[in-house]
């Protein structure tokens, strides 16, 4: 099996500023750490780097740093940070990104924006600029914001969008799992009606505090497979975020092996459902991001 990890983060606090880091994540996660956490028993593995929350003024610096370690980390494409609502600055920023061959798309992190932010006129104008330049958009939202992504896709029909982390549905815990909510299912299906929207099979371990349990997660994987079909699914590790669990009194801790576990959990599920694993783990991501 060949694997494109469609959602990989890398960072080094000694190089760039990350205000959000804490616990075990407040450390360097670059090529060396990734090499220690490789996916086992696969024929080939490469990755798409997704912006990791460096200070906005360092967005281009982040691209340059990832480029410098791309070969060692197996990174074949970059989804860079961009603020879509700042049109004049955005145009200059996109021009600067165009000088970097690995950049295939951008992400404006929406999960912490106010509801409706992606419906704003200035944001939509920025998204149209992405579509005109052939760049993709990673939509990282919380589950109640999925309708905003649907509206964005309707406003900019030429924009290729991928929903990160299944839209971060509430899945509960291993001890107290939650079923897919009617609201999430409804919004997911409405989003999937747009054939230019893909979805990443990523992030669920982070929603369950780093735990990976097939019985807990398969209903959510089944729902996205039914809504999107096997041609618009792509696997992603969300490394190292989804390999970290929180402890109420002791901060957080990082676990080596969760990336491999998540990969093979999803692969086993896909095979059981009769899905084409070559598409889910390789060709869909290659096609969406235009990886060469």
Residue 265 near residue 214 (C-beta atoms within 8 A): yes
Mean pLDDT, all residues of the chain = 96
pLDDT tens for 218-240 read 999 999 999 999 999 999 999 99
Mean pLDDT value of segment 147-166: 98
Pull the structure tokens for residue 139. 């939509």
Residue 242 near residue 262 (C-beta atoms within 8 A): yes
Q: Which residues of 271-287 are buried (b: 16+ CB within 10 A; e: fewer)?
A: eeeebebebbbbbbbbe
Sequence length of the chain is 292
Predicted confidence at residue 249, as pLDDT, reads 54
Residue 177 near residue 219 (C-beta atoms within 8 A): no
Domains of the chain: 2-289 (3.20.20.140)
Residue 21 near residue 241 (C-beta atoms within 8 A): no
pLDDT band at 160 (very low <50, low <70, confident <90, very high): very high
pLDDT tens for 88-141 read 899 999 999 999 999 999 999 999 999 999 999 999 999 999 999 999 999 999
Residues 6+ apart with CB under 8 A from 267: 1, 235, 277, 281
Q: Is the pLDDT of residue 247 over 80?
A: no
pLDDT band at 250 (very low <50, low <70, confident <90, very high): low
Residues 6+ apart with CB under 8 A from 176: none
Specify the higher pLDDT residue, 238 or 247.
Answer: 238
Pull the structure tokens for residue 168. 């971060």
Predicted confidence at residue 101, as pLDDT, reads 98
């Amino acid at each position: 099996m060949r694997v494109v990890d469609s959602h990989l983060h890398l960072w080094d606090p000694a190089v760039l500023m990350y205000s959000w880091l804490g616990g075990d994540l407040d450390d360097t996660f670059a090529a060396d750490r990734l090499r220690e956490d490789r996916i086992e028993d696969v024929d080939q593995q490469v990755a798409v780097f997704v912006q990791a929350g460096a200070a906005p003024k360092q967005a281009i610096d982040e691209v340059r740093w990832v480029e410098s370690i791309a070969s060692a980390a197996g990174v074949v494409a970059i989804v860079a940070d961009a603020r879509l609502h700042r049109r004049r600055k955005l145009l200059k920023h996109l021009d600067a990104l165009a000088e970097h061959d690995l950049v295939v798309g951008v992400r404006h992190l929406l999960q912490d924006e106010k509801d409706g932010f992606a419906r704003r006129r200035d944001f939509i104008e920025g998204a149209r600029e992405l579509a005109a330049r052939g760049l993709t958009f990673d939509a990282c939202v919380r589950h109640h914001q999925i309708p905003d992504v649907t509206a964005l896709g309707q406003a900019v029909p030429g924009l290729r969008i991928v929903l990160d982390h299944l839209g971060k549905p509430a899945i509960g815990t291993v001890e107290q799992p939650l079923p897919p909510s009617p609201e999430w299912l409804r919004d997911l299906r409405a989003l999937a009606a747009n054939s230019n929207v893909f979805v990443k099979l990523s992030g669920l371990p982070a929603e369950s505090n780093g735990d990976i349990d097939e019985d807990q997660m398969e209903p959510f994987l089944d729902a996205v497979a039914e809504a999107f079909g096997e041609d618009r699914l792509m696997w992603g590790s969300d490394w190292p975020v989804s390999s970290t669990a929180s402890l109420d009194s002791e901060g957080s801790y990082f676990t080596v092996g969760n990336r491999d576990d998540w990969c093979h959990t999803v692969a086993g599920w896909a095979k059981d459902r009769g899905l084409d694993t070559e598409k889910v783990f390789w060709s869909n991501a290659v096609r969406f991001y235009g990886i060469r």
